[in-house]
Structures are given as structure tokens and as C-alpha cells.
Amino acid sequence: MISMSAEITHLNLSQCTKLTGAEAINFLTTHPTVNCFLVYLNIMSNSSQHWLLEEKDMDVLLLNLTFSLCSLNLGGAKITSNHMPILIQLSKHLDELGLNFANLTMEDINSFFIACRR
């Protein structure tokens, strides 16, 4: 129901337990306001109660996020080491990145800082 001409810069979908991963991915990858204006996106979920974004959802979402984003919270999403290449690319322009409950190694975490020095 969000107008195609909306200019939304901040979107918080955290804890939306009736929202499915497919619905979220569809909206976030196809709605024009998300592709043009979004600077803050919070889609954190409580993984002990509700998994919003599965690993396959993250594959699609991460490849379609806009580079206008400055803050991204993916807490509770099923993020793995396989997602690191695109996360590192995104981190080059993000001021803030939330990855709580991500299935990452210490090597993965260190790669964010190694990438910053290059």
C-alpha cells in the first residue's frame, strides 16, 4: 500500500512476525522507493521466535540492496560466510551494519577490517 511515488528514507520492519521472507524480499527488491531513497533499513528479527530471512532470502536481498544505504540491521537473518563477499562490498559505504546471530567466523569478522585498510 506504500505509494510508488513515496520517498521513504528510513524503514524499520523489525519484529514483524506476520511478514514472510518472500514478502519482505519482494518489497525490498521491487518497490521504487527502496531502490532510490532508502538510507536506513532495519529488518532484525528475534531468531528464537521467528526467522524472517533464510539463507536463500539473504542471497537475493544482499545482491539487490541499494548503495544509498548508510545503516543496515540484518540481525536474526541466516547469514553465513558465503555472504561475506557482498557484505564486504556493502560495508564500504555503510556507517552501521548489524549482524547479530549471524553464523560468521572470527576470520569473517576480521575480513571487514582488512578490507577497510586496502
Confidence of residue 58 (pLDDT cuts 50, 70, 90): very high
Global model pTM greater than 0.85: yes
**pLDDT-based confidence at residue 49 (cuts at 50, 70, 90):** low
Check residue 112 and give its pLDDT. 87
CB atoms within 10 A of CB 65: 20
The pLDDT of residue 85 is above 80? yes
Asked if residue 4 belongs to a domain, the reply is: no
Task: Tell me if 38 is assigned to some domain.
Answer: yes
- Please determine, for residue 65, whether its predicted confidence score (pLDDT) is greater than 80: yes
Average pLDDT, the chain: 87
For residue 1, is it within any domain? no
Residue 92 CA: distances (Å) to CA of 48, 77, 83, 101, 114? 30, 21, 15, 22, 12
Q: Supply the CATH number for residue 101's domain.
A: 3.80.10.10
What range does the domain containing 86 cover? 10-117
> What is the band of 15 on the pLDDT scale with cuts at 50, 70, 90?
confident
Total number of domains constituting the chain: 1
